[in-house]
Amino acid sequence: MSSILVFGASGQLGQCLAHVAQERNTPNFVFLPEEQANILNPEGLAALFAQYQPSYCINCAAYTAVDKAEDELDLARKVNRDGVENLARLCGEYGTILIQISTDFVFAGTGNQPLVETDEAEPISVYGLTKLEGEQVIPAHTSKFFVLRTSWLYSEYANNFVKTMLKLGREREELRIIWDQVGTPTYAIDLAGCILTIIETQSQEFGTYHYSNEGVTSWYDFATAIFELSGTPVRTVPIRTDEYPTKATRPAFSVMDKTKAKTQLGVAIPHWRDSLQVCLGRLG
C-alpha cells in the first residue's frame, strides 16, 4: 500500500489517528505539519500528491469554531467547502480514496428518531452549512470517498468537553449544564479505529456513514458521568438551552443511527459510557 496522507494532523482526531496507527502497527501514514499541508493551497497540495502518490487521503482539517463561524462565513466556507474540494479534485486525479470527516450539525435536530444517512440535511448554523457544502462538492470529483459524520468528539488529546469538565470540576463547587440537547458522545480513538478498519479491510463500500459511540445522552448526563467515573466531587445543575444562549443554534436531537457503518464497514461500536471510562483512565 502506498502512502496515507493525513491533513489536520495536529488536531484532536489527527492525534488519535497517530495513536491508533502506532497501536495497530499500521505503516505508511504520513502526518503532515500544518504549514506544509494547507488545504487552501492547491499548488502545495498538488506537490504533496505528486510526491506521495497516496492511496488514501484523510481530511481531519476543518473550521470548527461553531459560534465564531456565525461571523466568519467566508472563512468557514473556504476551509470546510473549498479546502475539501481541493482535496477531492486531487483524489479524483490520482485515484486516491478520500476519507472526509463531517458532523451531526448538518441536521436541524428537530426530530426524535435516530438519524440515518438518507435523512434530509437541514443545517441551522454556519458551521453545519459549510460542513454540508464540503460533503456536497466531493462527488463531482471522485466516487471513491467515505464521508464519516460524527458527534460530540472527545479524547485525551486537544481541547474538548471532557477535559473542560474535568478542569472546571476541580475549580468549582457547582456547574450548570444543558440537559435539553440530546446526542451521543464519540471517543475520537474509536472513530480513528473505524477509519483504520476501512483502510485495513480495503473497503470499497463508498458513501456517507454515521459514526458515534452507541447510546443516547444529554450534555448534563454526559457531564454527570464524567464526574462520577472520575470521582470529581462537583454538583451539577440541569439547565435549558435558552438559559445558556450561544451565537450559533445547536441541534436539539442529533442521535445518529449507525446500522450502515456496522453492517457495511463491519465495525464494532462501543457504548459511550464504556469508552468514556477508557479515556478517563488514560487521562489519569
What pLDDT band is residue 229 in, cutting at 50, 70 and 90? very high
User: Which cell numbers in the block locate residue 140?
Assistant: 463531482
pLDDT digits (tens, 9 = 90+) for 159-215: 999 999 999 999 999 999 999 999 999 999 999 999 999 999 999 999 999 999 999
Please list the active-site residues: 127
Residue 44 is predicted with a pLDDT of: 96
pLDDT digits (tens, 9 = 90+) for 51-98: 999 999 999 999 999 999 999 999 999 999 999 999 999 999 999 999
User: Which cell numbers in the block locate residue 97?
Assistant: 480514496
CA separation, residue 39 to residues 58, 80, 85, 269, 273 (Å): 12, 10, 9, 30, 35
Helices (H), 3-125: 12-23, 42-52, 73-77, 83-94
Structural domains of the chain in order of their starting residue, each with its CATH number? 4-153+188-213+255-270 (3.40.50.720)
Cβ atoms of 214 and 272 within 8 Å: the answer is yes
- How does strand 182-183 pair with strand 56-59? unpaired
Average pLDDT, the chain: 97
Share of the chain above pLDDT 70, in %: 100
DSSP code string of 130-150: HHHHHHHHSTTT-S-EEEEEE
Region 5-26: what's the mean pLDDT?
Answer: 96
Number of neighbouring beta carbons within 10 Å of residue 88: 24
More confident position, 27 or 195: 195
What pLDDT band is residue 1 in, cutting at 50, 70 and 90? low
Residue 281 is predicted with a pLDDT of: 97
Number of neighbouring beta carbons within 10 Å of residue 157: 20
Residue 21 is predicted with a pLDDT of: 97
Region 92-108: what's the mean pLDDT?
Answer: 98
What pLDDT band is residue 35 in, cutting at 50, 70 and 90? confident
Contacts of 231 (CB under 8 A, 6+ apart): none
- Whether pLDDT at 19 is above 70: yes
Contacts of 43 (CB under 8 A, 6+ apart): none
